[in-house]
Amino acid sequence: VLHTGRLMPLVGLGTWKAKPGDVERAVRAAIEAGYRHIDCAKCYDNEREVGAAIRGCLDAGVCAREDLFVTSKLWNTEKKYARDVRNALENTLRDLQLDYLDLYLIHWPVAFGRVVNCACHGNAGDGAICPFPKRADGGLKYDDARRRVPHAETWRALEACVDGGLATHIGVSNFNEAQLQALLDACTVRPAVNQIELHPYNASPALCAYCAEQGILLTSYCVLGHGSGAGVPLLESPVVAAIAERRGMTPAQVLIRFQTER
């Protein structure tokens, strides 16, 4: 339950790294199977396909728009001015073929420099902004004047998007306690969600407790693990395997249940 009283589905379908051609089929199959929360992001570079799947399901009467909970995220290159934030959200809505988002998140608490026509991403000459701009030495090119992102300024632009009916809830992703507190000290609309990496190897108890105290709902990504702890991927962990065998479940089911119980 979000702080507004709106229900958010407990389990959703993430679309990160979903390949072109696969993501539309996957999203449509998920909605037809009963999924009602779809998690997207501009930098996943597949929102048009996600939108085609959602539109197909809505047109076919599989579900109504109000039954879906659609999340997307503001990328690191779209924070320099308030107009960038609104433009980014409007572009996402266009690609998703929706009139509003249920949740719009600041993807990361950093800002990247804006590099146009970056050949390394295959978009040279088309006027596109490179999502992962690089310096001459190969490192990421941050917006030097905004490396310590003034989150309150970005947040005010998001609040204006709520006022304009483009999103019903706003939140953040990958924020720590200090970054959240600075935002809470300056906001009018409270962040509904903080989406972070959560699994047994990265349990983040202090951040979880802080968000609970502040009424900020935590959502998790990489629930099956990311990398390995002690050299053993979570899906191959003997502890997880033993629990799965005892419960008659798969390791993946154990890890998903672990996180939903939290």
What CATH number does the domain containing 203 carry?
A: 3.20.20.100
Q: 224 Cβ partners below 8 Å, 6+ apart?
A: 199, 234, 235, 252, 255, 256
Q: Are residues 14 and 66 in the same domain?
A: yes
Q: Which of 145, 166, 196 is the last residue of a domain?
A: 145
Q: Would you state the pLDDT for residue 124?
A: 46
Distance from C-alpha of 239 to C-alpha of 130, rounded to nearest angstrom: 42
Better pLDDT: 133 or 237: 237
**Looking at 44, 104, 210, 221, which residue is catalytic?**
44
Chain centre to alpha carbon of residue 59: 25
Task: Report the percent of the chain where pLDDT is more than 90.
Answer: 75
Single pTM value for the model: 0.89
Pairing of strands 13-14, 37-39: parallel
Q: Average the pLDDT over 233-252 and give the result.
A: 96
Q: Are residues 107 and 167 in the same domain?
A: yes
Q: pLDDT band for position 249 (50/70/90)?
A: very high
Is 44 labeled as catalytic in the residue annotation? Answer: yes
Q: Are residues 83 and 95 in the same domain?
A: yes
Q: Are residues 82 and 159 in the same domain?
A: yes
Residue 133 pLDDT > 90: no
- Phi/psi for 219 (5° steps) reads -120, 150
Distance from C-alpha of 89 to C-alpha of 103, rounded to nearest angstrom: 11
Query: Where is the binding site, in residues?
Result: 107
Q: Are residues 2 and 96 in the same domain?
A: yes
Q: Are residues 200 and 244 in the same domain?
A: no
Q: Mean pLDDT for the chain?
A: 89
Q: Are residues 6 and 94 in the same domain?
A: yes
Query: Where is the binding site for substrate, in residues?
Result: 107
Beta bridge partners of 61: none
Q: Are residues 90 and 191 in the same domain?
A: yes
Q: How many domains does the chain have?
A: 3
To the nearest 10 degrees (0 to 180), the angle between helices 82-96 and 47-59 is 50
Q: In what order do the strands lie in the sheet with 13-14?
A: 13-14, 37-39, 69-74, 103-106, 170-173, 193-197, 217-221
Q: Which of 124, 145, 166 is the last residue of a domain?
A: 145
Q: Are residues 16 and 101 in the same domain?
A: yes
Q: Which of 120, 145, 170 is the last residue of a domain?
A: 145
Q: Read off the pLDDT of residues 66-120 as tens digits, 9 standing for 90 and up.
A: 999 999 999 988 876 778 999 999 999 999 999 999 999 999 998 876 665 555 5
Exposure letters 90-101 (e unless 16+ CB within 10 A, then b): eebbebbbbebb
Range of the domain at 76: 1-111+149-222
Q: Would you state the pLDDT for residue 21?
A: 83
Better pLDDT: 151 or 178: 178
Q: Are residues 102 and 167 in the same domain?
A: yes
What tokens does 52 get?
Answer: 């085609």
Q: Are residues 211 and 194 in the same domain?
A: yes
Q: Would you state the pLDDT for residue 125?
A: 46
Q: 118 Cβ partners below 8 Å, 6+ apart?
A: 124, 128, 130, 133, 134
**Of 20, 90, 91, the residue nearest 49 (C-alpha):** 20
Consecutive H or E run containing 174:
none
Q: Are residues 37 and 136 in the same domain?
A: no
Q: Read off the pLDDT of residues 33-60 as tens digits, 9 standing for 90 and up.
A: 999 999 999 999 999 999 999 999 999 9
Pairing of strands 103-106, 13-14: unpaired
